[in-house]
Chains A and B, each alone.
Chain A
Amino acid sequence: MGSKHRIQITVNEEEYDLLVHPNRTLLDLLRYDLGLTGTKEGCDEGDCGACTVIVNRKVVTSCIVLAVEVDGATITTIEGMQKGDALHPIQQAFVDSGAVQCGFCTPGMILTTKALLDEFPDPSEDDIKHYLEGNLCRCTGYTKIIDAVNNAVQLLK
């Protein structure tokens, strides 16, 4: 029982052909099998958003997705945002706005912001709050994060 399954996925534009146990979460696959430790494990039950990644253009909490479920998917993690030495404009906006304190929630915040701006390039403040409500930050009080999203909108124009 529980024999391994073969999955083929694209992570940050690299293709992987992997054998995984059904009880491997996408989060553990990314962190421990692929070494992509930018994706953080927070609550491990889908509440905090630290493990947010983008699967087929949609944000998910990777701690409650099984690796076998994403066979064939295209995935973006925080490591896929930067191109060469240049930060992605959303990353730059988070740095410029002082939206990063301890940094633990930041990868998830940035990926949720990316999904938000891909869907709504010019969001209202209510749009931003509704979209980011599943990403918890215990340091900033959120105002700097909302500033960062607004700054990212300008940088992406």
Chain B
Amino acid sequence: MKRFAYLRPGNMEDAIAALQANDEPYLLAGGTDLLIAMKTKAVKPECLIDLKGIPGIDGIEYDNGFKIGALTTVRDIEVSPLIRQKIPVLSEAAGTLGSIQIRNRATIGGNLCHGSPAADMAAILLAMSCEVKIASDNGTKTMGLDSFFIGPNKTVLNRNEVLSQIIIPKEIEQFKGVYLKHGPRKAMDIGIVNIAILLDADAGSGFCNQIMIALGAVAPRPIRAKKAEALLNGNELNPAAIQKAAAAAANETNPITDFRASAGYRKDLVKNLVAKGIHQICESNNT
């Protein structure tokens, strides 16, 4: 790694000031993506601003819904008893990221800000219709996570902004969820396709009150399959309707071909996994 300056500000104001005052600054959270990019010289920071010295930027709060600090480790999310109780699918998705060594360092905010289309936290949080809180020198603002991502490794964050918190709406707790990550290995791999589905359906009739479907690794950024959702919202969940929605979800994707999989294979996977995921939730609803 080439040399760089290291700063560890003790509060958010100093972190934002350092971000503006230094050349080629990068924010450091867990470092599990950033340090690798620095080793391969994909990025060449002149200055690292370590956010871990800011009090209160990590931790899981519950106050009419979850508020998760951006520097909360993925492992803390995986093992949180309250998350396991109220929104277990978030804990399950967290458990698929990297290895325990990675999850002990990687943070929920870092996973979002890195902007990978395959980020595990991105797909599941997008399906949960989360909001993110962003601190800047003009105060803080809150925005929907769907507006946060732009493209590969690109988010809306400006040079004077830091993601500080993820807010999960309380209504999500009545939904049942599933996170399907398809890849050759269970651990230490990014998904060829990641599917996150949150569903609020009547157990008996199979009527879909609301469904949220997020797709990872199949477009320049993590996306919501809104056309597929619209086909199911307010309708009965029968096999034909599910099949039609799954095909619509596949049509909403724009995947690439790379060494992991071809674009066509990814589209087929989306179709199959969206249907599988919805069926899986319906089955658990009926047991």
Contacts and interface: CB of A to CB of B under 8 A. Distances in A.
Nearest to B187: A133
Nearest to A67: B6
B46 interface: yes
B95 A130 contact: yes
Contact of B6 (A5, A47, A130, A131): A5
Interface in A10-56: 21-23, 25, 44-47, 49, 52
B3 A22 contact: yes
Interface stretch (B28-36, B82-90, B148-156, B195-203): B28-36
A77 to B, nearest CB: 14
A25 B39 CA distance: 11
A115 B75 CA distance: 13
B138 interface: no
Given A49-B99, A66-B31, A60 B105 contact: yes
Contacts of B31: 64-66, 69
Contacts of B100: 59, 112, 115, 130-131, 133-134
A21 to B, nearest CB: 7
Contact of A23 (B2, B32, B36, B99): B2
Contacts of B188: 47, 133-134
B14 interface: no
A46 B36 contact: yes
A69 B52 contact: yes
A1 B99 contact: no
Contacts of B99: 49, 61, 133-135
A45 B47 CA distance: 21
B35 A64 contact: yes
**B28, B35, B101, B102 — which one has the most chain A CB atoms within 10 A of its CB?**
B101
A101 to B, nearest CB: 21
A60 B95 CA distance: 16
B4 interface: yes
Interface string B39-58: 11000001110101000000
B6 A59 contact: no
Contacts of A133: 99-100, 186-188
A87 B3 CA distance: 40
A122 B8 CA distance: 39
A68 B101 contact: no
A47 B8 CA distance: 27
A134 B98 contact: yes
Interface in B1-38: 1-6, 8, 28, 31-32, 35-36
Given A46-B32, A52-B101, A61-B102, A1 B39 contact: no
A124 interface: no
B118 to A, nearest CB: 16
Nearest to B48: A22
Interface of A: 1-3, 5, 21-23, 25, 44-47, 49, 52, 58-61, 64-66, 68-69, 112, 115, 130-131, 133-135
Interface of B: 1-6, 8, 28, 31-32, 35-36, 39-40, 46-48, 50, 52, 75, 95, 98-102, 104-105, 186-188
29 contacts: A1-B46, A2-B5, A2-B6, A3-B5, A23-B1, A46-B36, A46-B101, A46-B102, A49-B99, A58-B75, A59-B101, A59-B104, A60-B104, A60-B105, A61-B99, A64-B35, A65-B31, A66-B35, A68-B8, A69-B50, A69-B52, A112-B100, A130-B95, A131-B100, A133-B99, A133-B188, A134-B100, A134-B101, A134-B188
